[in-house]
Structure 1
Amino acid sequence: MPRIHVMGASGSGTSTLGHHLARQLGIAHIDSDEIFWLPTDPPYRTPRPLAERRERLAERLPVEGDWVFSGSALNWAEPVEPFYDLIVFLWLDPAIRMARIRRREAERFGPRIQPGGDMFEASQAFLAWAEAYDRAGLEHRSRASHEAWLSRRQTPVLRLDSARPLRELLLDVLERLRRDFGRHFPIGKM
């Protein structure tokens, strides 16, 4: 108890909610980017081979463990999917989401993503990819592919608008866990 998957579009707050939820529950937090990408500079260039990703999943998200797994892991996290106790799906108005992403990218990478920077082209491609989430089809990481994946799950799904304050989102998840597990999960300092 519990194994929680927090998912949604890039910029919807999955990593932030996952981190704070795990801290509140006193359990491990693993973000899909830690498993999916090899460490490179610039980052997010080289996916880890599928077999290695699945090996890391088994190590970091043990079936008998308690954890929060944040991010999208469509088509490669099948070994742990049957063990999710709760899926939290975050959605956010696309304009707000893209503003968050642009701000986050500027804070993380500064001049590297500006014209002439070593990450400019990759940043522009990432922004175009992220912006397509709400209109892309099933062949991409998109709202459509997430909804299709969710429709095939037996695990309870809690849908939250992540424009709401983080504290409210945490309270919603903790209340759902209380209902599903019959235990009280107090919220501490954030």
Structure 2
Amino acid sequence: MACRIHILGAAGAGTSTLGKALADRLNVAFFDSDFYYWQQTPQPFSAARPKGERIRLLQEHTARHEGWVLSGSLCGWGDTMIPLFTHVVFLRLDPDVRLHRLRVREQQRYGDQILEGGSRHANSAAFLDWAARYDDGNHSLRSLRRHESWLKPLSCPVVRLDSTRHSVEALLTQLMQWVSPATGR
């Protein structure tokens, strides 16, 4: 049986990194929810796709593959995918480490554009503020509370991993043992 695995967590927790590595290890397709959520515009992450279009694209792309790994958060727009999941991974990371990663990533992606007076300063500051509210936020935003509520009714197996003290390789080892009955490995 092919695995169809969803990996979710806070922005900066490493869901995309782990998702790509797991898809490579399982030799299946990899998808990132950000590709579907955001329109591909000259200013990245600035215009959301209409909900119906997101879902249609995601369903079309995943339907072409028997197995896949999908990273990111679908809460609030992608619940139609839930019946397809064979496994769900909830990835956590120490908030200070996570926010440091996000600040570094913003600097690497946009350079001086995120500095005071730069063309992406306001966007970057708003994004980092939003990401900082994950652990204490309410259901109205991508938050720990919202993810925990979303996970409760799932009928597929859910594993919780902490990437604070574990390398991607160590997390992969844990995941491969967890999904091996489904993959026949």
TM-score of the pair, normalised by structure 1: 0.93
What does the per-residue CA deviation read over 1:135-165, in whole Å, with 9 as the maximum and x for residues that have no partner? Answer: 0011111000000000111111110001210
Aligned mates of 1:120, 1:25 — CA distance in 2: 39
**Structure with more contact order per residue of length (Cα contacts < 8 Å, sep ≥ 6):** 2
Moved over 4 A (4+): none
Aligned mates of 2:70, 2:7 — CA distance in 1: 6
AA aligned to 1:165 is S
What is the deviation of 1:64? Answer: 6.3
Aligned mates of 1:23, 1:39 — CA distance in 2: 25
2:173 aligned partner:
171
Aligned mates of 2:149, 2:177 — CA distance in 1: 26
What is the deviation of 1:41? Answer: 2.5
Aligned mates of 1:12, 1:65 — CA distance in 2: 27
2:162 aligned partner:
161
Q: Does 1:11 align with 2:12?
A: yes
What does the per-residue CA deviation read over 1:44-97, in whole Å, with 9 as the maximum and x for residues that have no partner? Answer: 111001111111011111286210000001121122111100001000110011
- % identical aligned pairs: 40
> Secondary structure, in 3 states, of the residue corresponding to 1:61?
helix
AA aligned to 1:19 is K
> Secondary structure, in 3 states, of the residue corresponding to 2:125?
helix
Aligned mates of 1:64, 1:106 — CA distance in 2: 35
Structure 1 portions without partners, runs of 5+: 185-190
- Contact map agreement 2:7 2:88 (CA 8 A) in 1: yes
Structure 2 portions without partners, runs of 5+: none
Q: Kindly tell me the number of residue pairs found equivalent between the two proteins.
A: 183
Aligned mates of 1:155, 1:46 — CA distance in 2: 32
